[in-house]
Amino acid sequence: MQGLGLQSLKKNPALIPLYVCVGAGAIGAVYYIARLATRNPDVTWNRTSNPEPWQEYKEKQYKFYSPVRDYSKTKSAAPNFEE
């Protein structure tokens, strides 16, 4: 198939930025999905060691970035089921 091989890139060097942008987008998408799978409190991989992982984020800042408010200083409105 023309345009997908290394020899084709040598003939058409204008395709190199396209390959770089598509590769960077794919790497970014994989990183974002991996971050959601490992850092999201709604996802639990091991229920035996930590059955309620969302309780860990009660005092932590969960939002990635907020220019207006510092969420680490606010009290969580989440209920505490242990009491």
Contact between 37 and 43 under an 8 Å Cβ cutoff? The reply is yes
Interval 8-43: pLDDT, tens? 888 888 888 999 999 999 999 999 999 988 877 777
Contact between 16 and 9 under an 8 Å Cβ cutoff? The reply is yes
Q: What pLDDT is attached to residue 74?
A: 72
Interval 47-68: pLDDT, tens? 787 777 777 776 666 666 777 8
CA 33 to chain centre: 5
User: With a threshold of 0.85, does the pTM exceed it?
Assistant: no
Q: What pLDDT is attached to residue 9?
A: 83
Where do the H-state alpha helices sit in 1-83?
6-11, 16-39
Radius of gyration, CA atoms only, the chain: 22
Distance CA 65, CA 71 (A): 10
